Amino acid sequence: MHIPDGYLSPATCAVGYVGMLPIWATAVKKVKKTLNSKLIPLMVIGSAFSFVIMMFNVPIPGGTTAHAVGGGILAVLLGPWAAAICVSTALAIQALMFGDGGIFCYGFNCFNMAVVIPFVTWFIYQRMAGKTEVTSSKRWIWGAIGSYIAINVAACCNGTELGLQPLLFHTAQGVPLYCPYPIWVSVPAMLLAHALMAGPVEAIVTGLVTRYFQVTNPSVIVDQIAAKVEPVKAAFNKLWFVIIGLIVLVPLGLLAPGGAFGEGSADDIKAALGYVPAGLAALGDRYHALLQDYGVPNSPFSADAPDLFHQSVGYYVAAVVGIAVIAGLTLLISKLIASKEAGNQQGH
Amino acid sequence: MCETDVFRPRGGKVRRSFVEKTIDGFSQVLMNDFYAERIAASRGLMQGLHPGSKVVTTLLLILVAVCLRSWPALVLLNLWILLLAYVSAVPLLTFLKRVWLVVPVFTGVVVLPTIFNVVLPGDPLLVLFHFSGGGHHFGPWMLPNVLAITKQGVHGAVIFVLRVGACVSLSVLLTLTTRWTYLMRGLSMIKIPTLFTMILEMTYRYIYVLLNSASEMFLARKSRTVGKTSTREKQRFVGSAMGVLWAKSIVLSDEVHAAMISRGYRGTPRTLANFKLRRLDWFWAVFTALAGIMLLGGDRLVS
């Protein structure tokens, strides 16, 4: 479910971060209120735990294995807010250390895996089994069902984020710039994979670990930090604002000036949204006028008009010079740094 | 464990059990880290830069990569990244293997269907097959007369793979040449709250403690299982292992908390910031920005 960089347009990535900022801020505020100085140690160990259980190979029928996200079980053990912090941290380490999931797409990766999974699991688990006995089998069953549903909801979100890309960002010739599959392909594809593979794995993990604690140490489930943090309903009321905000922001983010890079031409946006904001139309015209002044040569993929050839020669010369300058300066700076470090070492 | 399902004489194929896979995964993390540490400790361009300048320029270049949309510009950017890796003492073969063996396999497979006209309509580049009963409608989808590889499809797929490759190589380059603690300093320089960088920094350390615990559990399990076990039994083991790990984690977190309190921790993290931006770091940042703008400009002219 980790989206690598390059699959989402920069405008979409920005929306992901903007949506996540209030969630992270609220999560820290809420968890800190109950934990005080224990916040850092518990979140640190929780994050490390989250990272490590993502690496566990869970055997599934047929002799193969799969990995769980672990957002569901963390929500049952820690509550959704703390789980959101822990999974976000684990995802950051995966992105930075192993390149699992992009740095730009981190916002949306966190939204899907660190917010949707824990909150949906928690909501279902708490609604259906929150008032039962600690050892009641309802708890592990609803924990499992909750995380199965949660991971599928997350897959839907993931598919939507990916599926919006080709509708909004493609070149004039219809070449998709980012993820090429439209929403009616990406959502069913993600759902199928998660309903059959990742969903059952997540459910098994949440169910078995909850069951383990019910048998060996029920206090872990009773003493949830979560229970003290915030009543479920209030937590959900706040989250809805963020989700609605995100839904509003997705198209807005695409129309923001940064979206000009994404370059859905005015017609594309008209096709997607049904109208063209006036400012965008003006901006688009100016942009094209600018390029026409420079005599834009065609793409190497389209048939080059011969009279454009002379103009493109100039660009190729400029490109070659530019490349030489970039390469030369890179080498020069690396030499400078090397000599400086050698100097530093002699100085010590 | 059923280590008999490891050895399959008839198929001649060796399949590892989930225990072995997990232990391997754990040691892979350690190996990766030692390897990165060694490269980060050697002398080179990226190692000599201030972490803040390095983080900012890497993010900038990823942004450039995401915005580029013509293959020549993306190829150039990728070549430049390779040059950066070379002058940063990163063994090129390993770098290529890490990026250009992995990205085309995963991302390439994802976009492969889009080069065919049945998935994404476009102008045919190479006709593979003529359908006799073309033109049939299946709901909104129409079966075309021919199966062809399209110009737009190939164009899009090439750009997509090149772009994802550039993004992955940039983040690999950043993490290979920067120690985790320095990377966190770099992140706090771009105004990421200390609370988060501190959690990240400490988590990184405790991952190894927990990995060690988990690895011992799996090894113990492996050494005392003989015969065949059912999938259910295996799953129960994984569940219990996670449970035990959680119990251990809670104890560990209490111990860490006590250790922090006894060293005077009051609830607000403090760090020693001992990095200074030099002129060279500024120079590098400006240079990267200019090079990025140049690439983007050139890209817009040809695309």
Average pLDDT, chain B: 81
List A residues 107-126 in contact with B (Cβ-Cβ < 8 A).
none
Contacts of B260 in chain A (CB under 8 A): 37, 40-41
Q: For B210, which of A48, A300, A323 is closest by C-beta distance? A: A48
Helix (H) or strand (E) holding B148: strand B146-150
Interval A68-76 mean pLDDT: 87
Contacts of A326 in chain B (CB under 8 A): 80, 291, 294
B116 φ/ψ angles, rounded to the nearest 5 degrees? -95, 145
pLDDT in tens, A27-61: 888 888 877 777 788 888 888 888 888 888 788 77
Taking the C-alpha atoms of residue B179 and residue B39, their distance in angstroms, rounded to an integer, is: 9
Taking the C-alpha atoms of residue B182 and residue B146, their distance in angstroms, rounded to an integer, is: 56
What is residue A114's predicted lDDT score, i.e. its pLDDT? 92
pLDDT in tens, B4-42: 344 444 444 456 778 888 888 888 888 888 888 888 888
CA atoms within 13 A on the CB side of A250: 20
In the chain, the amino acid numbered B248 is K
- Helix, coil or strand: residue B147: strand
A300 vs B141, more confident: B141
CB contact under 8 A, B18 and A58: yes
List B residues 142-181 in contact with A (Cβ-Cβ < 8 A).
151-152, 155-157, 159-160, 163-164, 166-168, 171-172, 174-175, 180
Contacts of B28 in chain A (CB under 8 A): none
What residues contact residue A168 under an 8 Å CB cut-off, 6+ apart? A9, A254, A262, A264, A268, A269, A272
CB contact under 8 A, A175 and B152: yes
User: Hey, is the C-beta of A1 within 8 angstroms of any chain B C-beta?
Assistant: no
Kindly report the nearest CA distance between residue A35 and chain B, in angstroms. Answer: 10
What residues contact residue B48 under an 8 Å CB cut-off, 6+ apart? A334, A337, A338, A340, A341, B280
Interval B69-81 mean pLDDT: 88
CATH topology assigned to domain A10-262: Arp2/3 complex 21 kDa subunit ARPC3 (1.10.1760)
In the chain, the amino acid numbered A282 is A
Show the beta-strand stretches assigned E in chain A: 58-59, 65-66
Q: How confident is the model at residue A148 (pLDDT cuts 50, 70, 90)?
A: very high
pTM score of the predicted model: 0.78
User: Hey, is the C-beta of A328 within 8 angstroms of any chain B C-beta?
Assistant: no
DSSP state letter for A170: B
Asked if residue B239 has pLDDT above 80, the reply is yes
CB contact under 8 A, A73 and B242: yes
Taking the CB of residue A252, how many other CB atoms lie within 10 A of it?
Answer: 15
User: Hey, is the C-beta of B97 within 8 angstroms of any chain A C-beta?
Assistant: no
Q: Which residue has the tokens 């509708």?
A: A167
Burial class (CB in 10 A: 0-12, 13-18, 19+), B287: middle
Q: Are A224 and A77 in contact (CB under 8 A)?
A: yes
Asked if residue A88 has pLDDT above 90, the reply is yes
pLDDT in tens, A228-258: 544 444 445 555 666 666 655 554 444 443 3
Return the C-alpha torsion angle B33, B35, B41, B47, nearest 10: -90
In the chain, the amino acid numbered B269 is P
Taking the CB of residue B109, how many other CB atoms lie within 10 A of it?
Answer: 9
Residue of A nearest to B165 (CA): A6
User: Hey, is the C-beta of B41 within 8 angstroms of any chain A C-beta?
Assistant: no
